[in-house]
Amino acid sequence: MKKIIALMTALVLVMGLCAFANAEDADISGLTVTSPGGAPALALATMAVENKDNYTYIAADTIAAAFAGQEADFIIAPVNAGAKLYKAGKSTYKLAAVVSWGNLFIAAQKADLTAEDLNGAKITLFGENTINASVVLYALKANGIEPASVEYLAGAAETQALLLTDAEAIVVTAEPALTAAKMKNDQIGAIAVNGLFGEEGYAQAGLFVKAGTLEAQPEAVAAFLKAAEEACGKCTTDVANVAEAAVALEILPNAKVAAAAIPGCAIRFVTAQDAKALVEKTVQIDPAQFGGEVPADDFYYGAE
């Protein structure tokens, strides 16, 4: 009996090693990726610059159409958008990993801006009724900060413009817009929303994989995710290389802005299974943004 068990254990080990080897040798050159530009696209910039034809950059407001079209093997998108569409039956894409954890900042033309400056102040956010706005309001409340009023503009570009033109304004902006503004006015100070929310951040952007690709090319998917993890890691360990790739891909306008902005984009590869608890924590901030409840287990790549 012991010999049989030992033989079965060895067989399982060999099969596992073979599967790993197959994934390592899998061809990922034909896999395609769709992503919004800006911060989310930085996650895979060093991969994209080597295979530009397979990477498509789209406007953020066309993400739902990208999920519905099912043309790309992978999509980078807000985690809440992917979850909401999956729950509604409008997407077959599963969350493979969370790749960004919050690039939001509260900024003003005050170099030494502190959280205390926010109490009793008017704060201008962007994206009313979005998960980003909900996270900011949650973080303020959790820290006992009570603004006198909260107003909204459409996007980070609009709050950045207000930041540059109104010396009294306190706004919510995001990287890389914040860095671009600082280069125009070195008196701008900022508070990272993650510093108020929690340094681990929140589940902001995810890397999603199409169910059909998972079924047809499981080894290639595994190999791609390994490469994606390495690419995300370079946003911490090799910022200069990522910055050069971002400029070559026209994700960001120049290497100086890119290199300064990348650290504030909170890019970090965490597998869907490892990120699940933090995804669910983010859902609790504003469940409506995720379709009303935490995603089902089968939303996560790697679920049993």
Read off the CATH number of the domain in which 236 is found: 3.40.190.10
Answer yes or no: is pLDDT of 79 > 80.
yes
Domain of 185 in residue numbering reads as 104-197
Domain match, 119 and 180 both: yes
Same structural domain for residues 21 and 94?
Answer: yes
Asked whether residue 1 is assigned to any structural domain, the reply reads no
One domain, residues 108 and 178: yes
The predicted pLDDT at position 124 comes to 98
Please tell me the predicted confidence (pLDDT) of residue 7: 43
Please indicate, yes or no, if residue 166 is contained in any of the structural domains. yes
Phi and psi at residue 206, to the nearest 5°: -120, 160
Could you check whether the bond before residue 147 is cis, i.e. omega within 30 degrees of 0? Answer: no
Residue 2 lies in a domain: no
Arithmetic mean of pLDDT over the chain: 92
Residue 304 domain-assigned?
no
Residue 17 has pLDDT above 50, yes or no: no
Does 275 map to a domain? Answer: yes
Tokens at residue 12, please? 């399982």
Total-model pTM: 0.90
CB 28 within 8 A of CB 7: no
Does residue 149 lie in a domain region?
A: yes
Q: What pLDDT does 304 receive?
A: 57
The answer to whether residues 88 and 208 belong to one domain is yes
Do 89 and 108 have their domain in common? no
What's the token pair of residue 239?
Answer: 């910022």
228 and 84 part of one domain: yes
Q: Is residue 220 part of a domain?
A: yes
Q: Indicate whether 19 pLDDT > 90.
A: no
Alpha carbons 136 and 260: distance in angstroms, whole number: 23
Q: Does residue 276 or residue 9 have the better pLDDT?
A: 276
Domain edge (last residue) among 197, 220, 242:
197
Q: Which of 197, 228, 262 is the last residue of a domain?
A: 197
Does residue 129 have a pLDDT over 90? Answer: yes
